[in-house]
Structure formats: structure tokens, C-alpha cells
Copies of this chain bind each other. A is one copy, B any other.
Amino acid sequence: MTTSMQRDTRQRRAIRRAFERAARPLSPDEVLEQARRLVPSLGRATVYRNVKSLQVEGWLSEVDIPGGGLRYELAERPPHHYFLCRVCKQAFDVPGCPECVETLGPPGFEAEGHEVTLHGRCADCV
């Protein structure tokens, strides 16, 4: 079981760098592609392991976008939602959060959180 990841390796630095440079949530493949520019020999499993451990440390948060698979982004950001482009398949941040949402739950259900995802075409794909 891998949860600690205390050592500062080239691979781990390259993965962190990818997120610091990205303005949007990244999929594991996007992280691999970006980080391989710095460490070409980087393996897929290392990306998965580091993304998982950076999550446990609270540095990354997981974003599950309907129809878009898993993504990750810096955890420090204020609560917000996502826009998935159906043309280029990239995910973007949407600032703000409609307060009204959690009151929708059926009676007797206890809502602890919510996700809102828009989909359509991004500014570059319109």
C-alpha cells in the first residue's frame, strides 16, 4: 500500500509541476504527457501512485466529471464546478457555486455535498 511518498524525486517534482502549470483539472494521461517533457522515462504507474499520495496529503483533489473520467487539480482552490467540452474533451473550471442546490434532496435524505457539471463547447471549439 503506497500512501506516504516522503522522498523528493525527479518524477514527483515533474508531476507536481504539471499541476502547478495547469489552469484546469488534468486526467492521468494529461499528467503523464506533461510530466514526460521533464522526465521522458516516467511510467504510468508512477503517475497514478503520486497522484493518489498527493491527494492523501491534501495537495490534490479528485474531480469525477460525468462522461469525462477522473481528473485531478490543486486542492487549495475555493469550491467551484466544471465545464466539459464535448469537442476537445478538456475540462475547465467554473467559478461560483449555486447555493440553492442542496435543498433539492428528497425528504429524509442527508446531502453532504454536490457536483454541478456543464457540458457543451468551450471558447476554442465554438
Per the bound structure, the CA–CA distance linking A80 and B108 in Å amounts to 18
- Given A64-B67, A66-B66, A106-B92, residue A119 in contact with residue B113 (CB < 8 A): yes
A66, A81, A83, A117: most-surrounded residue (chain B CB, <10 A): A66
Interface residue tally of chain A, by bracket?
Answer: 35 or more
User: B108 touching A114 by the CB < 8 A rule?
Assistant: no
**22 A-B contacts (beta carbon < 8 Å):** A81-B104, A83-B106, A83-B109, A86-B112, A92-B109, A94-B106, A95-B104, A98-B104, A101-B116, A102-B118, A105-B118, A107-B123, A109-B118, A109-B121, A109-B122, A109-B126, A110-B120, A110-B126, A111-B118, A112-B119, A112-B120, A115-B117
